[in-house]
Amino acid sequence: MILVWRNEESSIRYVEGAIISALRLKRFWRRRGLSEDEAMKRAVKQAIGMIKVSGLSERDVISTLKELKRMTESVLEQMGK
């Protein structure tokens, strides 16, 4: 097994990247003909796997995910959606 040292900022970026990667994977599975629910299920499973190896505590992961959610909601609000 190879261990990779990450500092906190790179671990946070890894969690953020896991979400973007999952979104792209969901789109991939949809193009392959999977239902929305099945594509989402597979993508979420992949994201959780990535997040688990980020090195962040569960508390920090949740904080990062909530921050992403707040940012997305704020952008949507500013766009009038």
pLDDT above 70 coverage of the chain, percent: 91
State the amino acid at position 28 in one-letter form: F
Average pLDDT over residues 28-41: 98
Asked if 68 contacts 16 with a C-beta cutoff of 8 angstroms, the reply is yes
Domain that holds residue 26: 8-78
Structure-block tokens of residue 14: 């890894």
Average pLDDT over residues 36-59: 96
**Which has the higher per-residue pLDDT, 67 or 5?**
67
Determine what percent of the chain falls in helix, strand and coil, rounding each to the nearest 5: 75, 0, 25
Block residue for tokens 């890894």: 14
Flag whether 3 is in a domain: no
Flag whether 64 is in a domain: yes
Tell me the pTM: 0.83
Flag whether 1 is in a domain: no
Flag whether 2 is in a domain: no
Residue 81, pLDDT above cutoff 90: no
Q: Distance between CA atoms of 62 and 35, rounded to whole angstroms?
A: 27
Number of domains comprising the chain = 1
Residue 26, pLDDT above cutoff 60: yes
